[in-house]
Structure 1
């Protein structure tokens, strides 16, 4: 390890571009990351276009679009952190603020699907929910089962929204230490990432309890893929960041490689992973939406065929019952079957 030529400061964008050009493996990785970042933005635009074309304007549609934007926001900010290493903390701080918005809006979306907290209480009344949920208490079967009262829901909501305060505040402190140029910034960054990861784990746990209570009542609203998307974004990013910061601190797998110090290398690897992973997650989400839409369309066509068959059968029955009537009365009109009611956008009380 060549520590004498390693600076505590992150390289400038010009120095980083020279490093990228000097090594073909880094150049190819960054090029793929840039292409995937652009594809993530284009794929998000295509999904938004389909949503706005197929779904009428509503508060839930706006929230879903904002939640989906977490992928292009993460991809673009992470790629900027690769090209401009000194802006890596600023880019992560920007993405964290957007995570805060998405966490809050996810809770709002669940409440909106229930048509309000009061309706949610009525819908979940009498249903007891297990607190033995991952990632904290999956094996704690001795925990009591709770009822989703207004107070319990408020506590779970606070468990989610605390991450919306802790994560950006922690990254703000890290950015402040980095701007001050203190030599203990790497060590402090490790502890800050540990606090952020613990906060995210508690947020995911609270989210899992709410999901466990809502997965059956809200199954028609595709609540499961929405929950999985939020869970992956929160856990994968924080876990990777903590592990890479730990490796940078002990300088075992990520030694200094001038002009990239250990923390810069950890941040670069983290940002590249986020750029790759966000595209994969958004692509998988798009494929899932397509498959779900095809199933919905096929089930709708089957329902139409069944309705038509029932109408024909009832018409024949009607005509057979009127055998004794005159010929003018024997011609029975087809019985009109009222169309099935379209499910509302909310469950209602």
Structure 2
């Protein structure tokens, strides 16, 4: 009975606080924390801008756009997280912006691998005697019985379409979510069967998995060809951004919604979960920005032509013919 009579701070039931409320209640530690994280986000964006200038000067025209898009994943997410940290009521919009940007990056990373080989025509020429192994993650890593697929223009089109649909549909569902939110029918905290979020978010998750599959297939096929271009650590950074910005954020938000993360005025439990997520992302994206800067800042010379003796540095992943 005593527990039921315990008073609950009114702020624990309210919406996220306004930015001015956060500023007025910051202590010394809070001031230092917010200042350092804001500095990290600003430095990340400045490094990205400087990297864009370098890419425009040094990189061939067919690769400029895709490399800039892929490089911008961590700085953009870090900057959006910084805005969400200072303005908690805008967190839904900053998260949606980051998610839309990364949806485009998924498609751009696939295009970047093809451009590093020399474009679609060069990829098809190199792949004439090879096959694609499609029993890979995140969809079919356990389906070893799946057949190997011949590499044709149709196959390449399907790979691109599989990733492009996510870039397109993520933006469509984001606009739909915002429209429903203005109507009061979209709430991330509403997990009832009648809520819009419980239907939209799982469907977007399925589209995400479908989009990641073609990228994984292409990477497994091209990882030896592009090894000298550090494609493996680049792919690792791309995967890390995905895990941190999507999976980590989802886990923290779920912990906040079920009460594991406690309310701390002026933040409710959900708002505090979002705040913790934003602060972690700023730090993590700052580190990833520094690493990706080292990986992409190089001379972009064309790959050597694949030799008939299948030199280890230039060969593709060969799948033996089952016949």
What TM-score, normalized to structure 1?
0.72
User: Equivalent residue for 1:223?
Assistant: 231
Q: Structure 1 residues 274, 170: closer, same or farther in 2, change over 3 A?
A: farther
Q: Structure 1 residues 182, 56: closer, same or farther in 2, change over 3 A?
A: closer
Deviation at 1:38, TM superposition (A): 1.6
Extract unaligned runs of 5+ from structure 2: 1-6, 192-196, 307-323
Q: Structure 1 residues 184, 285: closer, same or farther in 2, change over 3 A?
A: closer
Per-residue CA deviation, residues 187-237 of structure 1 (Å, 9 max, x unaligned), is 244665444444333322221101111222333444334333332222321
Q: Which has the higher helix share?
A: 1
Of 86, 98, 102, which aligns to 1:99?
102
Of 15, 19, 22, which aligns to 1:16?
22
Q: Is the 8 A contact 1:160 1:204 kept in 2?
A: yes
Deviation at 1:11, TM superposition (A): 1.7
What secondary structure, in the 3-state scheme, does the structure 1 residue paired with 2:132 have? strand
Q: Counterparts of 1:166-185 in structure 2 under 5 Å?
A: 166-181=169-184, 185=188
Q: Is the 8 A contact 2:114 2:120 kept in 1?
A: yes
What TM-score, normalized to structure 2?
0.77
User: Equivalent residue for 2:287?
Assistant: 280
User: Equivalent residue for 1:30?
Assistant: 34
Of 277, 302, 309, which aligns to 1:344?
302
CA distance in 2, matches of 1:347, 1:37: 41
Q: Is the 8 A contact 1:40 1:75 kept in 2?
A: yes
User: Equivalent residue for 2:125?
Assistant: 122
Q: Structure 1 residues 82, 235: closer, same or farther in 2, change over 3 A?
A: same
Deviation at 1:184, TM superposition (A): 5.3
Per-residue CA deviation, residues 83-141 of structure 1 (Å, 9 max, x unaligned), is 01111122222223322433333333333334443432221122122223233433332
Q: Counterparts of 1:220-259 in structure 2 under 5 Å?
A: 220-251=228-259, 253-259=260-266
Deviation at 1:278, TM superposition (A): 0.9
Q: Is the 8 A contact 1:7 1:259 kept in 2?
A: no
Q: Is the 8 A contact 1:115 1:347 kept in 2?
A: no
Deviation at 1:288, TM superposition (A): 4.2
Higher RCO structure (Cα 8 Å, ≥6 apart): 2
Extract unaligned runs of 5+ from structure 1: 297-341
The farther-off stretch of 88-97 and 24-33 is: 24-33
User: Equivalent residue for 2:93?
Assistant: 90
Q: Structure 1 residues 113, 284: closer, same or farther in 2, change over 3 A?
A: closer
Q: Is the 8 A contact 1:114 1:347 kept in 2?
A: no
Deviation at 1:346, TM superposition (A): 9.0
What secondary structure, in the 3-state scheme, does the structure 2 residue paired with 1:121 have? helix
Q: Are residues 1:207 and 2:215 paired?
A: yes
CA distance in 1, matches of 2:56, 2:209: 34
User: Equivalent residue for 2:319?
Assistant: none
CA distance in 2, matches of 1:95, 1:273: 15
CA distance in 1, matches of 2:44, 2:217: 31
Q: Is the 8 A contact 1:75 1:274 kept in 2?
A: yes
Q: Are residues 1:71 and 2:78 paired?
A: no
